[in-house]
């Protein structure tokens, strides 16, 4: 039996919100990875899915930052903070 894909429901480690990702399980999983490694890798991939299973575009992308799995909202907030730190002055 081959399992090609599973859906994972994730609790954001920033705010506790729930979001979903599709986890590809077909073939390319590095030896030694456990379930959490595979799921975290899927979250790092950034594509959330709706409750109906549709893949959402990058506007709703999740991420892994500081080893925490973050929902789209926390991803945007963290990205914004990082951008502010990197660029002290912006023209526009």
Residue with tokens 């990058």: 58
Q: Choose between 12 and 39: whose C-beta lies nearer to Zn ion.
A: 12
**Is 39 a binder of Zn ion (CB under 5 A)?**
no
Task: Pick the stretch among 9-17, 30-38, 46-54, 58-66 that binds Zn ion (CB under 5 A).
Answer: 9-17
Q: Which of 12, 21, 43, 69 binds Zn ion (CB under 5 A)?
A: 12
**Is 36 a binder of Zn ion (CB under 5 A)?**
no
Q: Choose between 17 and 35: whose C-beta lies nearer to Zn ion.
A: 17
3-state SS, one letter per residue, for the chain = CCCCEEEEEEECCCCCCEEEEEEECCCCCCCCCCHHHHHHHHHHHCCEECCCCCECCHHHCCEEECCEEECHHHHHHHHHHHHHHHCCCCCC
Residue with tokens 């991420």: 63
Interface mask (CB under 5 A) for Zn ion, residues 73-92, using x and -? -x------------------
**Is 9 a binder of Zn ion (CB under 5 A)?**
no
């Amino acid at each position: 039996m081959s399992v090609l894909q599973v859906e994972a429901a994730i609790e954001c480690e920033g705010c506790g919100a729930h979001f979903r990702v599709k986890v590809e399980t077909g073939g390319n999983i590095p030896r030694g990875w456990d379930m959490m490694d595979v799921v975290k890798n899927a979250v790092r991939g950034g594509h959330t899915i709706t409750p109906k299973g549709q893949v959402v575009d990058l506007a709703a992308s999740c991420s892994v930052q500081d080893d925490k799995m973050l929902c789209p909202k926390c991803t945007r907030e963290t990205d914004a903070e990082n951008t502010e730190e990197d660029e002290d002055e912006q023209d526009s």
